[in-house]
Amino acid sequence: MMYTLSPLAQQYKNFFMNFQAGGNLKHMERIREMLIKKEISFYIDFDDLLNYDRKLAQSLLEKPDKHLEAANDALKSIIEVHFGSPIFGNIIDVRIGSPFSGYLKSIRDFRIRFRGFPKETRVDIYNIRARHINKPITVEGIVMKSIVKYEILEIIYYCEKCDKEFRDQPDKDGRWFESVTCPYCMKRRYYNNIAEMVDVIFSDVLHVFIEPENLSEGSRSLEVLIKDNLVDIAKDIIQLNNKIIVSGILRPKGEGRKDYAMLEKVKVEDGTITRFFKSYDVYIEAHDIELKEKAANF
Least confident of 48-57, 91-100, 206-215, 242-251: 91-100
| Highest mean pLDDT pick, 6-20, 69-83, 197-211 | 6-20
| Highest mean pLDDT pick, 26-30, 76-80, 153-157, 193-197 | 26-30
Residue 71 has what pLDDT?
A: 96
SS3 state of residue 177 = coil
Instruction: Say how far apart CA 77 and CA 58 lie, in whole Å.
Output: 24
Does the pLDDT at position 169 exceed 80?
A: no
- Average pLDDT for 70-96: 65
Are 229 and 203 contacting, i.e. CB atoms less than 8 angstroms apart? no
Instruction: Say how far apart CA 105 and CA 112 lie, in whole Å.
Output: 18
Are 253 and 263 contacting, i.e. CB atoms less than 8 angstroms apart? no
Domains of the chain: 7-115 (3.30.1640.10), 119-298 (2.40.50.140)
Instruction: Say how far apart CA 113 and CA 23 lie, in whole Å.
Output: 23
Least confident of 8-22, 40-54, 84-98, 218-232: 84-98
Q: Which residues of 114-127 are buried (b: 16+ CB within 10 A; e: fewer)?
A: bebbeeebebebee
Closest by alpha carbon to 109, among 63, 84, 74, 138?
74
Does the pLDDT at position 4 exceed 70?
A: yes
- Average pLDDT for 59-75: 95
Residue 111 has what pLDDT?
A: 86
SS3 state of residue 92 = coil
Instruction: Say how far apart CA 70 and CA 78 lie, in whole Å.
Output: 12
Residue with the bigger pLDDT between 213 and 26: it is 26
Residue 298 has what pLDDT?
A: 45
